[in-house]
């Protein structure tokens, strides 16, 4: 049964603004990225979502397709974004079966909670490889298609574009590295790299008509991130650290995506759109429900969350 539309996209957007367009998304079976893609599909796009788990990715693709009658959504599993040849094959299949790649969401990521002295070199490398190298591989695989799309959808900002928009990429990042976040040194390094990459893409590919921007979500309710990286019993207390007094919703990330990919975002390039209710201004050492500095000085390993330190990393 289709989700209620307001769960993943606001009523302000006009139907059909992404008709005959295609969005390619890594990490597309995740709670945030699937909402981003679902909103695009509801507004006319077809889509290709990429993930590691075959069943989860294919099931999510079928579910997203219920957002609009006649929508085409391909789910390609068994794709590790660290392997460029797999991403290239996925991008080529997407373009062949759906006709183009007009929008890209680089959303694959890895995370867990641990202090720097508990993180092995291999664990750090794994997170950087998934986030940074994975984003790089996503850009490399889709860039020729984005250049082609951008050339078809140039706009001067004055004339209504006849063919809509295209040639745009969004990197899904975070706010962890803005003020520093305990237990997240590995991800902070990775997300800072993703942010820098987006700016480089904007500068280098902007003359070809491509725009590259970052969306940095804050704490979003009912997502893997909140479940993995915070204790359930401390989440009500954590609300107080958000100036708006609540966690965000996936719809609010999806709305930011529509803004950047639509005609309203034509002149936004090389920027980071933070969607966190103002949380990062009050965040830092007291996040995740672990008291600062007592927990760090104790030397304990994080427990009580799904995203604790993985011994094999």
d(CA 1, CA 264): 31
d(CA 99, CA 226): 36
d(CA 223, CA 170): 19
* β-pair partners for 213: 170
Among the residues of 153-249, which ranges form H helices? 176-179, 185-205, 224-229, 235-239
d(CA 168, CA 154): 11
Active-site residue, selected from the candidate residues 21, 100, 188, 191: 191
Q: Respond yes or no: is residue 152 known to be catalytic.
A: no
Sheet holding 22-26, edge to edge: 73-76, 46-50, 22-26, 103-106, 168-172, 211-217, 272-275
Active-site residue, selected from the candidate residues 173, 185, 188, 287: 173
- What's the DSSP call for residue 30? S
d(CA 69, CA 123): 43
d(CA 192, CA 260): 20
Are the C-beta atoms of residues 303 and 311 closer than 8 Å to each other?
A: no
Q: Respond yes or no: is residue 191 known to be catalytic.
A: yes
Residues noted as catalytic? 173, 191
């Amino acid at each position: 049964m289709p989700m209620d539309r307001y769960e993943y996209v606001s009523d302000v957007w006009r139907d059909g603004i992404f008709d005959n367009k295609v969005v390619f998304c890594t990490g597309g079976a995740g709670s945030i990225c699937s909402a981003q893609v679902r909103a695009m599909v509801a507004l006319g796009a077809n889509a290709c979502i990429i993930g590691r788990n075959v069943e989860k990715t294919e099931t999510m693709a079928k579910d997203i397709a219920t957002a609009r009658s006649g929508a085409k959504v391909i789910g390609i599993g068994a794709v590790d974004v660290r392997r460029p040849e797999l991403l290239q094959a996925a991008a080529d299949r997407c373009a062949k079966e759906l006709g183009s790649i007009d929008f890209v969401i680089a959303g694959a990521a890895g995370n867990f909670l641990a202090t720097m002295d508990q993180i092995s070199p291999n664990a750090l490398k794994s997170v950087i490889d998934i986030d940074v190298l994975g984003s790089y591989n996503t850009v490399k695989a889709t860039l020729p298609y984005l250049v082609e799309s951008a050339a078809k959808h140039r706009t001067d900002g004055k004339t209504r574009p006849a063919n809509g928009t295209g040639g745009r990429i969004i990197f899904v990042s975070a706010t962890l590295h803005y003020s520093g976040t305990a237990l997240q040194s590995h991800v902070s390094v990775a997300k800072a790299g993703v942010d820098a990459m987006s700016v480089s893409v904007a500068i280098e590919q902007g003359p070809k008509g491509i725009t590259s921007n970052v969306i940095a979500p804050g704490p979003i309710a009912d997502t893997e991130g909140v479940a993995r990286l915070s204790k359930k019993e401390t989440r009500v207390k954590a609300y107080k650290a958000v100036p708006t007094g609540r966690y965000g919703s996936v719809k609010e990330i999806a709305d930011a995506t529509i803004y950047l990919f639509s005609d309203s975002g034509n002149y936004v390039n090389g920027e980071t759109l933070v969607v966190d209710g103002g949380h990062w201004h009050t965040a830092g050492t007291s996040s995740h429900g672990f008291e600062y500095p007592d927990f760090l000085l104790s030397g304990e390993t994080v427990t009580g969350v799904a995203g604790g330190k993985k011994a094999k990393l």
